[in-house]
């Protein structure tokens, strides 16, 4: 454990905005990165750790785009096997192992079940062959290697499955994460390596030198409304679904372009949807769906439909909810799930690279770097899972173009994503068990969730909650304000703590207390507090039933 309690150390906080903005405006950076999702965060960490002077600028909150709205898995890339992209399976398998090693509390192995169903599209032989190839290509080791389960073993693990429909299952390892927490941890690690990072600041224009070469960005700070210029030798466009908007500003949106699809997830109470083992199953339309239990809840997703609406706020529609509910009913005909059982939900948009003649779910999830004639470097496509390797590829390119030979080695394979790392899964488990057996009296699932989100810091947060007699969410809010650059209550509720998605009832119970902390710290008056509460309540209405239908 660190000498000084982490919660008392000075951190990366909103209250340092002024200083950071001044440093951004006054600095000449080697690399300026646009976008604070996992892609931009990964690039910032890679560049800063190689000693490049790095700036990262995010228009909203970190992970406010796609990087808080995924299925939250660090995939081994099984779906790429179906698309015969063997090198992608191999690479994602390797990356999965690296990211797990860097944050074993936050990238957690879970055994995934692939049920073999009567009349299903995947037979036992096909699943066995697929998983065997997957193990070989992805370099899967030890306990993570696939097994085939008999019908009896399958039903023992998931008693909800209909006996008459199940013939057995494949059993293999996936890794569960919290995408928004992974992003903020990468951001914080980049800051520890010297990157200057700011949120709620939008890049509105690109700047060019007299030769027409990109030389920086012009931004607007959305909190104070002021504008600033940040100079950079290289500018990286890591704007996810907004990548083409910036390429358009650069006058370089030619040839390949993005194709955006929407994916929705639904969250259910563990009592209404009792599942202990994650499942990945094929549905009659040929797509596959995940069902994932996570500390006290079960979530299901995802849909995959072309999307052209508001990129900042993709909605969860009744049609999306019906699609997922129908898929769940197909696997579990006896489970009486309805729209009203949805506890909360989220919708995300995938920035895919368009491929002529392919449907949404057939398009590859591969990443690609485009360098425009003016020098704008755009990173398009990709996955949460591959963020570290994508960053390495971009920074390798920058180092080469910049002639920085001494910085050619990527270091991020060995940079843990926390100041206080665990040695591995075993240590995470024993740490969690010790906290669960401690004197706090908090439910086991809440303790496990806290360790997943905060690692060793969970111990301090739970101790603070115990001493004050308040719920852990209050200590979390204080921590987020001091150490994780939150501005609005929703930054904390949705992305730092994930509680709006996974503990909505708890949030509703403690909302006034949480808002009070924000009001005190920010000096908000009653009017402002009321407005913030309305914003949170509006968000809750959007992610809970009844959902709006496309048909009106």
- Choose the stretch contacting ligand FAD; rule: CB under 6 A; options: 235-243, 276-284, 420-428, 537-545: 235-243
199 makes contact with ligand FAD (CB under 6 A): no
73 touching ligand FAD, by CB under 6 A: yes
Bridge partner residues of 369 (DSSP): 379
First-residue to last-residue Cα distance in the chain: 55
Q: Which one of residues 11, 76, 93, 241 is an interface residue with ligand FAD (CB under 6 A)? A: 241
Q: Is 431 left (phi over 0), alpha (psi -120 to 50) or beta?
A: alpha
Residue 216 contacts ligand FAD per CB under 6 A: no
The CB-of-39 to ligand FAD minimum distance in angstroms stands at 3
Tokens of 447: 């303790």
Longest dimension (CA), the chain: 73
Q: Which range, of 189-197, 238-246, 435-443, 519-527, touches ligand FAD by CB under 6 A?
A: 238-246
Write the interaction track for ligand FAD spanning residues 271-310; mark x where CB under 6 A is met and - where it is not: -------------------------------x--------
Near ligand FAD in 365-384, by CB under 6 A: 382-384
Q: How far is the CB of 427 from ligand FAD (least distance, A)?
A: 25
Strand duo 28-34 + 54-57: pairing: parallel
Among 11, 263, 293, 498, binds ligand FAD (CB under 6 A): 263
> Rg of the chain's alpha carbons, rounded to an integer?
23
Residue 381 CB, shortest distance to ligand FAD, in Å, is 7
The site map against ligand FAD for 75-114 (x = CB under 6 A) is x---------------------------------------
Judged by beta carbon, residue 127 or residue 289, the one nearer ligand FAD is 289
| Residue 529 CA neighbour count, 13 Å, CB half | 16
Task: Please choose, out of 72-80, 414-422, 464-472, 508-516, the segment that lies near ligand FAD by the rule CB under 6 A.
Answer: 72-80
Q: Does 67 bind ligand FAD (CB under 6 A)?
A: yes
Contact status: 487 vs ligand FAD (CB under 6 A): no
Nearer to ligand FAD, 40 or 130 (CB): 40
Closest to ligand FAD by CB, 39 vs 372, is: 39
Task: Figure out which of the listed residues 21, 32, 38, 176 binds ligand FAD, where binding follows CB under 6 A.
Answer: 38
The sign of the CA dihedral 65, 66, 71, 74 is negative
Residue 39 contacts ligand FAD per CB under 6 A: yes
8 A C-beta contact, residue 455 and residue 5:
no
Q: Map residue 29 onto helix, strand or coil.
A: strand
Instruction: Please identify which residue in the block is written with the tokens 């083409």.
Output: 244
- Please, which residue, 202 or 542, has the CB nearer to ligand FAD? 202
Strands (E), 102-213: 108-117, 147-149, 166-176, 196-198, 201-208
DSSP class of 548 = P
Segment interacting with ligand FAD (CB under 6 A) among 57-65, 134-142, 222-230, 518-526: 57-65
Work out which of 43, 89, 108, 203 binds ligand FAD, going by CB under 6 A: 203
Q: What are the C-alpha distances in Å from 1 to residues 126, 159, 280?
A: 48, 41, 38
Q: 71 near 290, Cβ under 8 Å? A: yes
Cα-to-chain-centroid distance, residue 57:
18
Nearer to ligand FAD, 9 or 535 (CB): 535
How many Å separate Cα 550 from the centre of its chain? 27
Selected from 21, 45, 57, 113, the binder of ligand FAD by CB under 6 A is 57
What is the DSSP track for 247-279?
HHHTT---SS-EEEEEEEEEEEETTTS--SS-E
349 binds ligand FAD (CB under 6 A): yes
Of the candidate residues 31, 43, 45, 60, the single one contacting ligand FAD (CB under 6 A) = 60
Identify which of residues 485 and 515 has a Cβ nearer to ligand FAD in the complex.
485
Q: How far is the C-alpha of 19 from the C-alpha of 22, rounded, in Å?
A: 5
- The reply on whether position 34 binds ligand FAD by CB under 6 A is yes
Give min distance, CB of 176 to ligand FAD, in A. Answer: 9
CB burial string 201-220: b at 16+ within 10 A, e below: bbbeebeeeeeeebbbbebb
Report how many residues bind ligand FAD under the rule CB under 6 A: 37
Helix or strand holding residue 288 (H, E): strand 288-294
| Residues whose CB falls within 8 Å of the CB of residue 225, separated by 6 or more in sequence, listed in order | none
Q: Which is nearer to ligand FAD, 245 or 516 (CB)?
A: 245
> Residue 423 corresponds to which tokens in the numbers above?
């040695």
399/246 Cα distance (integer angstroms):
22
**Kind of pairing between the strands at 54-57 and 196-198:** parallel
Does 115 engage in binding with ligand FAD (CB under 6 A)? no
Q: How far is the CB of 189 from ligand FAD (least distance, A)?
A: 16
Strand intervals (E) in 71-146: 73-74, 108-117
Q: What is the DSSP letter of 303?
A: -
User: Which residue from 49, 71, 231, 252 is in contact with ligand FAD, where contact means CB under 6 A?
Assistant: 71
* Among the listed residues 50, 59, 193, 196, the single contact to ligand FAD using CB under 6 A: 59
Is residue 64 at the binding interface for ligand FAD, with CB under 6 A as the rule?
yes
Identify whether the C-beta of residue 244 lies closer than 8 Å to the C-beta of residue 37. Answer: no
H-only helix segments in 148-303? 151-157, 179-192, 243-249
Least distance (Å) from ligand FAD to the CB of residue 116?
Answer: 23
Q: Residue 345 forms beta bridges with which residues?
A: 266
Q: Which is nearer to ligand FAD, 73 or 328 (CB)?
A: 73
Q: Is 169 in the site for ligand FAD (CB under 6 A)?
A: no
Tokens of 71: 């299925």
Among 70, 231, 298, 344, binds ligand FAD (CB under 6 A): 70
The residues binding ligand FAD (CB under 6 A) are 34-40, 57-60, 64-67, 69-73, 75, 202-203, 238-242, 263, 302, 348-350, 382-385
């Amino acid at each position: 454990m660190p000498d000084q309690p982490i919660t008392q150390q000075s951190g990366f906080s909103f209250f340092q905005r002024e200083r950071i903005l001044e440093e951004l405006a006054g600095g000449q950076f080697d690399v300026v990165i646009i976008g604070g999702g996992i892609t931009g965060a990964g690039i910032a960490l890679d560049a800063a750790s190689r000693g490049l002077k790095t700036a990262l600028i995010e228009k909203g909150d970190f992970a406010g785009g796609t990087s808080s709205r995924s299925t939250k898995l660090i995939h081994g890339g099984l779906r790429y096997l179906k698309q015969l992209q063997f090198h992608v399976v191999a690479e994602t398998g390797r990356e999965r192992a690296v990211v797990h090693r860097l944050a074993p509390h936050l990238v957690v192995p879970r055994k995934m079940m692939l049920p073999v169903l009567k009349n299903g599209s995947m037979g036992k032989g096909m699943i066995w062959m697929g998983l065997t190839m997957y193990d070989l290509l992805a370099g899967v080791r030890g306990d993570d290697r696939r097994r085939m389960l008999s019908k009896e073993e399958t039903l023992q693990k998931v008693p909800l499955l209909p006996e008459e429909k199940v013939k057995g299952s494949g059993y293999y390892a996936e890794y569960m994460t919290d995408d928004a927490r992974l992003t903020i941890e990468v951001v914080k690690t980049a800051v520890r390596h010297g990157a200057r990072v700011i949120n709620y600041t939008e890049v509105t224009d690109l700047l060019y030198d007299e030769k027409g070469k990109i030389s920086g960005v012009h931004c607007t700070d959305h909190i104070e409304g002021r504008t600033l210029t940040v100079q950079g030798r290289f500018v990286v466009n890591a704007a996810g679904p907004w990548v083409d908007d910036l390429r358009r500003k650069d006058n370089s949106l030619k040839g390949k372009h993005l194709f955006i699809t929407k994916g929705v997830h639904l969250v259910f109470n563990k009592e209404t949807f009792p599942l202990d083992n994650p499942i990945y199953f094929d549905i009659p339309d040929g797509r596959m769906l995940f069902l994932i239990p996570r500390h006290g809840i079960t979530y299901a997703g995802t849909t995959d439909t072309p999307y052209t609406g508001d990129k900042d706020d993709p909605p969860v529609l009744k049609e999306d909810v019906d699609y997922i509910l129908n898929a769940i009913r197909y696997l579990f005909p006896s489970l009486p799930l309805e729209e009203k059982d949805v506890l909360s939900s989220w919708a995300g948009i995938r920035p895919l690279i368009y491929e002529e003649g392919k449907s949404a779910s057939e398009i590859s999830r591969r990443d690609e770097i485009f360098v425009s004639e003016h020098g704008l470097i755009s990173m398009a496509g990709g996955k949460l899972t591959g963020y570290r390797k994508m960053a390495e590829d971009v920074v390798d390119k920058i180092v080469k173009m910049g002639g920085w030979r001494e910085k050619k080695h990527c270091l991020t394979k060995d940079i843990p994503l926390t100041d206080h790392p665990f040695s591995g899964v075993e240590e995470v488990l024993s740490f969690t068990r010790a906290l669960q057996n401690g004197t706090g009296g908090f439910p086991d699932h809440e303790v496990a969730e806290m360790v997943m989100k905060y690692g060793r810091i969970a111990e301090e947060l739970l101790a603070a909650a115990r001493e004050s007699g308040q719920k852990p969410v209050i200590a979390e809010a204080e921590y987020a304000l001091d150490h994780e650059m939150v501005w609005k209550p929703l930054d904390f509720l949705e992305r730092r703590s994930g509680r709006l998605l996974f503990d909505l009832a708890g949030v509703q119970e403690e909302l006034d207390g949480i808002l009070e902390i924000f009001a005190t710290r920010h000096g908000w008056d009653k009017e402002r507090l009321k407005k913030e509460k309305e914003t949170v309540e509006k968000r809750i209405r959007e992610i809970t039933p009844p959902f709006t239908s496309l048909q009106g």
